[in-house]
Amino acid sequence: MKYFFLSDGWTYGRVWSSEGLWNDANWRRKPHIQRLNLYFVEQNEQLWLYRVEDAILTVEVKPVAADQIERAANTIGQVVLKRLISGDQVLERLSAAETVCQVKNIQSVVL
């Protein structure tokens, strides 16, 4: 598995695999991308953890909220390509941050 963090007010768009831009018809399915119930706070911004399948190399991310679009246009443009990170890199990032976990089913965590 691979991972990336994405701020509230942002979403993912196009996806790339080793064959290039993800094509639902060729793969016969959409790419597996899941937002997990874990985020950390950095500079008053919630950064949510997403998990993607190994076949995915790069994910395009872009703002959806009007204030985020305006802010992004002034600083970095409309779209950013996100590099994916490993599970070890996620743990390093979370261990150095203020982290919050939303648990909807405690039985899935506690044995």
Distance in angstroms (rounded) separating the CA atoms of residues 48 and 59: 15
37 alpha-carbon distance from chain centroid:
12
Q: What is the pTM of this model?
A: 0.78
CB 67 within 8 A of CB 7: no
More confident residue, 8 or 98: 8
pLDDT for the residue 22? 96
> pLDDT: is 24 or 103 the higher one?
24
The predicted model gives 32-47 an average pLDDT of 89
Q: What is the pLDDT of residue 111?
A: 46
